[in-house]
Amino acid sequence: MTQDELKKAVGWAALKYVQPGTIVGVGTGSTAAHFIDALGSIRHQIDGAVSSSEASTQKLKSLGIPVLDLNEVDSLAIYVDGADEINGAMQMIKGGGAALTREKIIAAVADRFICIADASKQVDVLGKFPLPVEVIPMARSFVARELVKLGGLPEYRQQVVTDNGNIILDVHNLSILDAVALEKAINALPGVVTVGLFATRGADIALIGSPDGVKTIER
């Protein structure tokens, strides 16, 4: 199976967590795009979606799924999204698609975070995938210097402006042993909007796609 076929398998497997008559939190990326396709097949059974990016919003709307403003929504039963890395403690690196801030906000609202990923995303230690950090543009150099002090090698993601009008620094050279502490330290830097470490609020369920099938891991 190709990596995209594995992504498709987990995207469709996540449908079983969608309750009729609810609003669904929807992530961003190629795996989440398969989930959106799956959601389209039951669009008449759900009340709509809350979206983590302009790209996912466009795709949801193109399939006839109403997209609601998060401010109109009191609660969400589930948030379904991919990951760049996930460890055994269900902590993740996210933001490869630059949507980390909205992803983190919706994940915070949702009762359950369902991570959908192919098996290549499973790691023992987070950090091989460069850690994305969304930064206010004027703070770029300051935040980069602070990230070096934390042991990282930040790289400015060229030509990328987030949906919130900010820039991304991708931090290389990290081996993240205490993800909660690093998440707090980076989030505390003035000028940082969000770090793409989802450790304080990790996944509750992971659907992992491999050639043997979709494995469900519950926290």
List, by residue number, the catalytic residues: 103
DSSP for 119-146, written as a single string: GGGB-SSBTSSPEEEEE-GGGHHHHHHH
Which is nearest to 116 in space by CA: 219, 13, 2?
13
Shortest spacing between CB 135 and ligand 5RP, in angstroms = 15
110 CB burial (10 A radius; 0-12, 13-18, 19+): buried
Shortest spacing between CB 138 and ligand 5RP, in angstroms = 23
150, 173 Cβ separation under 8 angstroms: no
Alpha-carbon gap, residue 3 to 188, rounded angstroms: 36
- Residues 95-134, one symbol each (x = binds ligand 5RP by CB under 6 A, - = not), give xxxxxx--x-------------------------------
Considering beta carbons, is residue 39 or 83 the nearer one to ligand 5RP? 83
**Site residues for ligand 5RP, window 25-64 (CB under 6 A)?**
27-32
Considering beta carbons, is residue 31 or 51 the nearer one to ligand 5RP? 31
* Interface pick for ligand 5RP out of 8, 39, 56, 94 (rule CB under 6 A): 94
Alpha-carbon gap, residue 148 to 90, rounded angstroms: 26
Pick the stretch among 57-65, 76-84, 143-151, 159-167 that binds ligand 5RP (CB under 6 A). Answer: 76-84
* Interface pick for ligand 5RP out of 49, 56, 65, 82 (rule CB under 6 A): 82
φ, ψ (nearest 5 deg) of residue 180: -65, -45
Shortest spacing between CB 100 and ligand 5RP, in angstroms = 5
Pick the stretch among 56-64, 69-77, 88-96, 176-184 that binds ligand 5RP (CB under 6 A). Answer: 88-96
Radius of gyration of the chain (CA): 17
Shortest spacing between CB 24 and ligand 5RP, in angstroms = 16
Alpha-carbon gap, residue 124 to 218, rounded angstroms: 17
**Residue owning tokens 């519950």:** 218
Residues that bind ligand 5RP (CB under 6 A): 27-32, 81-84, 94-100, 103
